[in-house]
Every structure is written in C-alpha cells, then in structure tokens.
Structure 1
Amino acid sequence: MQTAWFSKPVAVSVGVTGSIHHLSNTQQAIDLLTTHWRDAGSPKHRSALRACQRATSGDVAPDVARAALVEAAREAHILIE
C-alpha cells in the first residue's frame, strides 16, 4: 500500500472545537474516516473510505478518492469550502 496524494487538500472541521484539518492524501483521509467521522456508516462515508483504500492500492486515481471524500464531508457538514 502506498500513500496517494490529492491534487489539492480537502479542508474539514473536526471535533467539538471545530479544529480545521487539511487532508492532503489518502492515508490522512482514511485515518479521519475511521476514527473521527461524524456520520460514520452513511453510504457516502463508506464510498469515500472504499475509494481512499482503493487509491492507496493503485486501483483508482487519488482525485477519484478526493471527490468521494469531498462528497462525504459535504454530507457530514464538515467540509470547508
């Protein structure tokens, strides 16, 4: 497995304090999706996690995973645009 880098970081607000995280690669995204996700288990969350995992194994382009992550973050109301 390898870390797949996004063409542009994804900014999200996490936790009670709303600290801002800039996710630059699939490993950072997987960590957030598996440990601190507000709507864990939703279809978009599962899709983003699966896409990030597939990007780390080279099955999909990193920006496909990024797009799925953006959609999941938007659904969870944590995306900073």
Structure 2
Amino acid sequence: MQTAWFSKPVVVSVGVAGGIRNLSNTQQAIELLTTHWRDAGSLKHQSALRACRRAMSGDLPPEIAREAFVEAAREAHILVEQVQPDRE
C-alpha cells in the first residue's frame, strides 16, 4: 500500500480541546478514522474508511477518498470549513 496524497489538506478539529489538524493524505485520514472518531460506525464513516483504504491500494483516486472523508468529517461535526474571502 502507498500513501495517497490529497490535492489540498482537510482541516479538522479533534480532541476535547478542539486541536486543529491538517490532514494531507489517506494514511493520516485512516489513522483519525480508526482511532479518534466520535461517530465511528456510521455509513459515512465506513464509506470514508473504505475509500481511503482503496485509494492507498491504488483502486480509487485520492480525491474521491478525500471527498468521502470530508463528508464523514462534516457528519461528525469536526470539519473546519474554509471561508473564502470576498473579492470586490
């Protein structure tokens, strides 16, 4: 298996204190999904874990795994949404 890199990091808030983590690849995502996930076992959690593992084995593009991870993080209320500044 190989680490599949995301095109841009996924920012999440983890732990009791809400520490910010920038996840850049599937290996980091799998670690979080398997060790520190508050909604472990939900369909989106399982889908993200499966997608990240498939991306690591080369069966799925890393961006598909990233999107599945983002959806699971959003469901678990740990995704830090990036706000784009308004341009005039």
Match of 2:31 in 1: 31
Match of 1:72 in 2: 72
Count of aligned pairs = 81
List gaps (5 residues or longer) in structure 1.
none
Match of 2:3 in 1: 3
List gaps (5 residues or longer) in structure 2.
82-88
- Percent of residue pairs bearing the same amino acid type: 79
**Deviations along 1:38-75, whole A, 9 cap, x unmatched?**
10000000000000000000000000000000000000
TM-score (norm 1): 0.99
In 2, Cα distance between equivalents of 1:56 and 1:3: 5
CA RMSD of superposed structures (Å): 0.3
In 2, Cα distance between equivalents of 1:79 and 1:40: 15
The higher radius of gyration belongs to 2
In 2, Cα distance between equivalents of 1:23 and 1:40: 18
Ranges of 4+ aligned residues in structure 1 off by more than 2 Å: none
Q: What is the 5 A alignment of 1:48-67?
A: 48-67=48-67
TM-score (norm 2): 0.91
